[in-house]
Structure 1
Amino acid sequence: MKKIAIACDHAGFDYKEIIKKHLETHYEVKDFGTFSKDSVDYPDFVHPSANAVESGECDFGILICGSGQGVAITANKHQQIRCALCWMPELAELARKHNNANMIALPARFIASELAVDIVDKFLGTDFEGGRHEKRVAKISCC
């Protein structure tokens, strides 16, 4: 069973709970918080979840904040993380197929919760194509 890291800030809390409940039927989900709608600093939750994906403890990660930008920027500071900001399923599909993204960021203030679930499903249900994309992905990391 694949293991999914999930984390959010206060703006993404409701979506995190909805997505987590949806995923728990087919995946093991590790919740890195936040655990309420109280204002928090998203890096405090993103870094531990990115560490879990980077180390192999979790297979993939899902991050949620108001715009998706802050969590994506933070996750992408990790050398082995490829986090894609996605607001439609097609972007999640291409992020997996062409970029071998291992985390996605969702903008809770700009998409419906049902769409967020569809995006997550597309992300987790899509494989990396490899081939011509492998050499490009290999060039992403700075180290």
Structure 2
Amino acid sequence: MKLIIGSDHAGFELKEYLLKVLRARNIEVVDGGVADETPADYPDIGQAVAEKISRGEFDRGILICGTGIGMSIVANRFPGVRAALCHDLYTARLSREHNDANLLVLGGRLLGKGLAKEILQVWLASEFQGGHHQRRIAKINSLDQKISQEK
């Protein structure tokens, strides 16, 4: 699995921590920015990461901003991206099992490092269940295509 992780300044500290967690598990991960806590606009980082997932350059991604809301809004504008803002283990698991989320979004100002690590581990370990959930994902993909054609 090839991962990319990015954050704005509000998520920088958590991003750096999760990078260490991922690398300690020998998971291939690319740091999509930012490089420090200098104020940065979440739409810029969200776009950079989501575009790479949309183009298939990465299998999955992680975005972190203050609450996770802004990054979620940005990321879900890109075809094929299913970004899920997760705040507990239940939402992390179901975002993968039911929604086939390929981008995990976290709120850096809302989650402690321990919970964020657990959320990430559950999200990475959970698999899409398919079945009737696949039908729903197909409908989302159809919406992506329809909207792209209308532009």
What's the TM-score bracket when you normalise by the shorter of the two chains?
A: over 0.9
CA-CA distance at 1:4 after TM superposition: 0.7
CA-CA distance at 1:109 after TM superposition: 1.0
The CA distance in 1 between the partners of 2:26 and 2:54, in whole Å, is 22
For 2:86, the equivalent position in structure 1 comes to 86
For 2:149, the equivalent position in structure 1 comes to none
Runs (4+) off by over 6 Å: none
Structure 1 residues 40-92: Cα deviation after superposition (integer angstroms, max 9, x where no partner): 11111111211221222111100001100000110000011000000001101
CA-CA distance at 1:122 after TM superposition: 0.6
SS in 2 for 1:49: helix
Gapped regions of structure 1 (runs ≥ 5): none
Structure 1 residues 85-128: Cα deviation after superposition (integer angstroms, max 9, x where no partner): 00001101000000000001101111111111110111111100
* Residue 55, structure 1, aligned to residue 55, structure 2: yes
For 1:68, the equivalent position in structure 2 comes to 68
CA-CA distance at 1:26 after TM superposition: 2.4
The CA distance in 1 between the partners of 2:133 and 2:26, in whole Å, is 28
Percent sequence identity is 42
The CA distance in 2 between the partners of 1:124 and 1:52, in whole Å, is 18
Structure 1 residues 3-35: Cα deviation after superposition (integer angstroms, max 9, x where no partner): 111010000000000001100132111111011
Give the structure with higher Rg (CA).
2
The CA distance in 2 between the partners of 1:46 and 1:110, in whole Å, is 18
Q: RMSD of aligned C-alpha atoms?
A: 0.9
Matches within 5 A, 1:59-138: 59-138=59-138
Q: Which amino acid in 1 is paired with 2:7?
A: C
* Residue 15, structure 1, aligned to residue 14, structure 2: yes
TM-score under structure 2 length normalisation = 0.91
TM-score under structure 1 length normalisation = 0.96
SS in 1 for 2:140: coil
